[in-house]
Amino acid sequence: MPTDHSPTHARDLQRFNQLKALIIKRRAFEAAHPYPPYCLYKTDFNFTDVHGNSLLHYAAALGDMDKLRECLKNNIDIDRKNNLSQQAIHLALENGHLAVAQKLFMENADCSDVHLSQCQRNPEQTAWFKEAIEQWLKAAFPSAKNYRTPRCTGQFFKQKGEIHPVSLRRVAETGNTSFLKSAIRQHALPPDVVNHLLVVAAANGQLHTVKYLLEEARAISAPGGTTALIEAVKNGHGPVVDYLLSQNVAINQQDSLKNTALSYAITRHDKGTAKRLLALGATCQHENLIGNSLLHLAVKSGCPFLSDLLGLPGFADRRHHRNMYGFTPFDLAVQHQRDEWLPLLAEGQDLTAIKQSAAYGHPPVPIHQAAVLDNMLYRLKLNYRDTRYFDHDGHCHGFSFLHSLYADREDYYFATLRLMSHWNGSEDDLFKPLNPALPQAAWYKNLDELFEQWTNDLLWFQHTQLRTIDSLRQTDRQNQFDLIKGSSQENSQYLPLYVEPEHNRDEQGKPVNYARGEAELLEILSYMTRMPSGIHFEFIGGGHTTSAYNKKPHSLAYYDSNFTFKLQGNTHAQAVIRKRLDWVEGAGTQARYLITAFCFQKDVNELKLSTFTVFDEQEFPKSAAEAMQFQQHSANQFTPLHIAVMTRSLPAIKRLLCDGFCDIHARDRSGRSALKMALDSHFYDALGLFLTSPDIPLDELSGFIRQAYRTNEKDILQAALAHPKARQLIGLLLEAIQKEDLPLIQRLLSQAKIDVNQSVSDTLPLIEALQTGHEGIIQTFFNHGASLFITCGYAKTPLKTAFLSHSRCMDVVIARLNGNLHRLDATGMAAIHHAAEQANALALRKLISAGADVRQVTAGGKSVFQLLGDSSWGIHDQRECYRLLIGQYQFDLSTESDRQILQQLLVKLALSYDEHVYQLLLRQCRPEIIDGLRIHGQPFLHYLIRNRCLAPLASLLAHGVQVDPLSEDGNTPLMALIQATTLPNRHKIIAMFIDFGAEVTLKNNQGKCALLLMQQSTDDHIRQIAEDARSESPLRMG
């Protein structure tokens, strides 16, 4: 391999050696300290440096096969991506190391993100990689018929369900026009797919394919993130550029970065293409996404024909133009040491002084979130820290809030980001004392302490991975801040002013539609910027969060954590919205945006929101027609009342409600009324004003009124009680019941005339009252006509509640029933049925004493015994109930229903045997009823023996039941006992059956009698019983 003396090669070699030395050092340390945390995060060859590069990345970039083999031998992750999302094979191809790229390919490197455009430094490797793609395409997609379903997976196919299928993209990339023709002809591909293929073909210089797509497939070079012309120019494919220009494609279209084809011709130093584009009318006055003019791009890239460009009309005037970070082309020339251009741009300045300035040769440190996050993550790994909560999604949410928190010290905030971004990954530099001149030195001893605090703060206010720990929503700033603020930060309390809940629903229960375009966002922000200085805003949507705050009315300090540097100066609402839409990938014309306005407690007095009026006098509507016209012309369909609530303008709300021209029920484009807005934002002062309107539905203000009750705001309560729709205050009534507030309950029932039998939230006021057990409250409801017999759904009635097992109100309810104990409620049950169902023995006793009929059945025909048997309560609770009910129930054995109940009880109570209860039952049961009882075809005694339920047998035999009922196989119970060798205490039971006269000589279907079975038994005790029976000697029972 020839020696490479380039600075890049020397840098990569140095980084390889440093990383390898660090890995060796860490592994030695871990071997000497085999305990947590060092044993949990062991270092291997996959350990990366601060740039996210592994040893394999550097070996590939260097083209060093020996280093590459060493990495592969140590099981390195071949597909690991660095901070720039590059794999090792990317670096090998981009540096022209074909042998290394081929070795990685043979090791099955993932090539789904590797493209021909990365091979252009070496024609030989371009030919090799194109052949590799074509071979895979031939195997995976032998025909265009199934272009979406590969016959085999592989290195080039990882993602499924793509809008632009990988087969077509790879075909366009390699210029397989015949496959494309077949696919387009057979499948009638939609225009967006065909247009995208044109871009891919142009980016890879496939002229024949580009011609086919434009001329025959009717593709158009439409802007959609990029264009065919832009990609051809960007990648230096002159023949494709010539062809596209000959087809008169649009030359001033912009890509997602707002660069044009001319922009890329200049940055590629392609003078011929630049001249041709200019001759065809390419504009040289536009700015790209960050506000760079073409002169900025020319200076930064070191364009050799800059002097020619300066001679173009208007081009030289761009020397004074600042980009969004405040840099002119001259500033970039100084930062990047473009000495050859300084005389052209300096305009008479002293060049010697310029070269001696601090900015010369020192580009500013980037402060975008990626630069900071990469260093934060690397420090955690370096210090053996857990990185599971370091989610790469959502950090913008944390940066956004921290920017607001440090708004008073904005320079400190950005300087801190620069400190973290500038760290070179050296462990030693982490622990060097901070320069005392730095303001951060007042708070942190070294860079490591600073990283620790800011990483913790960022993860906390990001809050995507922490939701599993504390259940706080990502957007719940108030509780996030309240949980961690120190005692010295009480004045920094977070105060939400305008809130759009993430999973919000309108008054009809439909999800709120937060989809908004530029016009909708601009209208919202244009009114919000009228608010006093010190108000902060957050914009959440399109997978990204940004923030701003009012430095003064109509002037915003805007922040996006993706900005490379601090935005220069303040801006206005329209510029903020434009930047927001331009910088949020995939936002589209209508994206879902949540907007929040807030302030901090320390700023409240200066804000003077209580006197802020959002409208000028002439802007207030003078009639209902004007108010309606205002809403019709609003992009968000806002009424003036919506805007007054949104901007926290209490005087405007007062005026609008007093004038009465605004429809307080009007919904905006998202489906919310102004009242709903106020509720979402906890704007209690406004809600108090809404209460004065006779048209307001009080049920919508239920939560607010209940909160006022909890905080004892008597004026709001009085207004609510005096409201014409006070009957809707049932939510407040339920709250008063829970607090056992009898005076308020009496006022609500007598003054507000609330319907006491109205169901709300799956309950009834009387149900809630009964659960308190407060006799005065319960009696008050009875006095106002509350019914025990109605239902609120889910088979719940007040009558049922009164006889729950823990009820404390049975006496007052029984007294209320007053001889009406047999009345069925809406569930078809009387009081005694509910008591039985709950196995409530105390209630049963009280009801029976009051005259309840234990024989009464439910509307569905169920007896108290069936209800008790079906209850979920344990047998201990049921047993006393059975005793009470059996003692009161006079079975009529001439009726089939009573005989059936009796037989069911015989079985159930036998299985949960209680001597006293069972004797009560047997007193009402003739023996022949038991003799006729068969369970699953078995006589009752056999059923008990088979289920090992032996306790009731003595009582049953003593009651006179038949001792020798035969089973289907002709066995008697005695035979069954003899053969059941695992039954406990069966010797006593066998002897008991013989004592009660069991037949020992009766033969079963197999011709065996009980005596023979006992004689053949292996049990000595049973054989002795047989001998005693045979000699007719007395049998001993124990």
Distances (CA, A) of 618 to 486, 657, 672, 1026: 46, 17, 26, 115
CB-based contact 812:775 (threshold 8 Å): yes
CATH superfamily entry for domain 164-355 = Ankyrin repeat-containing domain (1.25.40.20)
Confidence class for position 623, pLDDT limits 50, 70, 90: very high
Backbone angles phi, psi at 824, to 5 degrees: -90, 140
For 56-61, what is the mean pLDDT? 96
**DSSP helix/strand/coil, 670:** coil
Distance CA 768, CA 757 (A): 12
Q: Which percentage of the chain shows pLDDT scores above 90?
A: 55
| R_g over Cα of the chain | 43
Ramachandran class of 762: left when φ > 0, alpha when ψ lies in -120 to 50, beta otherwise: left
User: What pLDDT score was predicted for residue 347?
Assistant: 78
Dmax (CA) of the chain: 140
Topology match between the domains 7-110 and 963-1038: yes
**Domains of the chain: which residue ranges?**
7-110, 164-355, 369-483, 494-695, 697-787, 963-1038
Q: Is the pLDDT of residue 1033 over 50?
A: no
Give the least confident one: 484-498, 613-627, 661-675, 968-982: 484-498
For 217-221, what is the mean pLDDT? 83
Beta strand residue intervals within 862-965, DSSP E: 934-935, 938-939
CB-based contact 929:899 (threshold 8 Å): yes
For 583-594, what is the mean pLDDT? 69
For 201-220, what is the mean pLDDT? 92
Q: Is the pLDDT of residue 684 over 90?
A: no
Residues 6+ apart with CB under 8 A from 760: 730, 731, 734
For 407-415, what is the mean pLDDT? 93
User: What pLDDT score was predicted for residue 393?
Assistant: 64
Ramachandran class of 193: left when φ > 0, alpha when ψ lies in -120 to 50, beta otherwise: alpha
Per-residue tokens: 375: 């260093």
User: What pLDDT score was predicted for residue 903?
Assistant: 86
Backbone angles phi, psi at 710, to 5 degrees: -65, -35
Topology adopted by domain 963-1038: 1.25.40
User: What pLDDT score was predicted for residue 902?
Assistant: 85
User: What pLDDT score was predicted for residue 492?
Assistant: 66
User: What pLDDT score was predicted for residue 487?
Assistant: 59
Confidence class for position 819, pLDDT limits 50, 70, 90: confident
Alpha helices in 485-517 (DSSP H): none
Q: Is the pLDDT of residue 821 over 80?
A: yes
Q: Is the pLDDT of residue 2 over 60?
A: no
Write out pLDDT tens, residues 306-365: 988 888 888 888 888 999 999 999 999 899 988 888 888 887 788 888 888 888 889 999
Write out pLDDT tens, residues 156-185: 876 555 556 888 999 999 999 999 999 888
User: What pLDDT score was predicted for residue 506?
Assistant: 67
Write out pLDDT tens, residues 362-386: 999 999 999 999 999 999 999 999 8
Give the least confident one: 39-43, 475-479, 876-880, 988-992: 475-479
User: What pLDDT score was predicted for residue 908?
Assistant: 85
Is the peptide bond preceding residue 37 cis, with omega within 30 degrees of 0?
yes
User: What pLDDT score was predicted for residue 1034?
Assistant: 45
Write out pLDDT tens, residues 115-155: 998 887 778 988 999 999 889 888 888 888 888 888 877 78
User: What pLDDT score was predicted for residue 585?
Assistant: 60
User: What pLDDT score was predicted for residue 746?
Assistant: 92
For 7-110, CATH number? 1.25.40.20
Confidence class for position 262, pLDDT limits 50, 70, 90: very high
User: What pLDDT score was predicted for residue 242?
Assistant: 96
User: What pLDDT score was predicted for residue 1032?
Assistant: 58
